[in-house]
Amino acid sequence: MNSKKNDSQASIRNLQEEDLEKIVHKFTFPWSTSEATFVLWKNYFQEHQRHLRTVCIIEKQNEIVGYGNLLRSPEYPHFKNNNIPEINAIWIDEQSRRQNLGTMLIKHFEEMATDDGYQTIGIGVGLYQDYGPAQRLYQKLAYRFDGNGITYKCQPVIPGESYCVDDDLIIWLTKSLVPK
């Protein structure tokens, strides 16, 4: 099994079908239902098997404490058209934050994308306060704005129009994987 450990004894590995039940139990958030969470993760697993995405989970002492995805066919047109894989839906348990696990997961995806021959990797981040930690994290890891402004549901926003400030209002960042 493809698995890596760091100093805190956290390890990262690819999602397996046996994980789904545990994940639905643990990661059904108050804004969703266990049925919807199961459908979401079943779809993740099927896309993982088809190599459209790679889903990784991060474990500590045999407990799943976070996860993330690498999308090889992202919805955001700038990434899709420029062969830029997207790091997506990173989540670290609240009790396990600020222990470098988010950093570890992102670096894992960067290595994976490099091994797959990609020259650039991308990530999107929301604009409201809940995304503050992610904004700081991506800046720290040297991600830069892609220069195309913000999007709503992956389409460029139009100046003067109104949009809801929600999870679909996103700014996009990229990082070169080519050593200087």
Ligand X SMILES: CC(C)(COP(=O)(O)OP(=O)(O)OC[C@H]1O[C@@H](n2cnc3c(N)ncnc32)[C@H](O)[C@@H]1OP(=O)(O)O)[C@@H](O)C(=O)NCCC(=O)NCCS
Contacting residue, 45, 109, 118, 131, with ligand X by CB under 6 A: 131
Instruction: Give the span between the Cα atoms of 7 and 26, in whole angstroms.
Output: 25
Instruction: Give the span between the Cα atoms of 86 and 41, in whole angstroms.
Output: 18
Instruction: Give the span between the Cα atoms of 113 and 116, in whole angstroms.
Output: 5
Instruction: Give the span between the Cα atoms of 70 and 122, in whole angstroms.
Output: 10
The reply to whether 98 sits near ligand X by the rule CB under 6 A is: yes
Which helix (H) or strand (E) is 146 found in, with range?
A: strand 144-152
The reply to whether 101 sits near ligand X by the rule CB under 6 A is: yes
The reply to whether 6 sits near ligand X by the rule CB under 6 A is: no
The reply to whether 26 sits near ligand X by the rule CB under 6 A is: no
Using the contact rule CB under 6 A, the part of the chain among 21-29, 40-48, 73-81, 97-105 near ligand X is 97-105
Instruction: Give the span between the Cα atoms of 16 and 57, in whole angstroms.
Output: 9
Using the contact rule CB under 6 A, the part of the chain among 2-10, 20-28, 91-99, 155-163 near ligand X is 91-99
Residue 120 beta carbon to ligand X: minimum distance, rounded to whole angstroms? 18
The reply to whether 125 sits near ligand X by the rule CB under 6 A is: yes
Contacting residue, 40, 52, 127, 134, with ligand X by CB under 6 A: 134
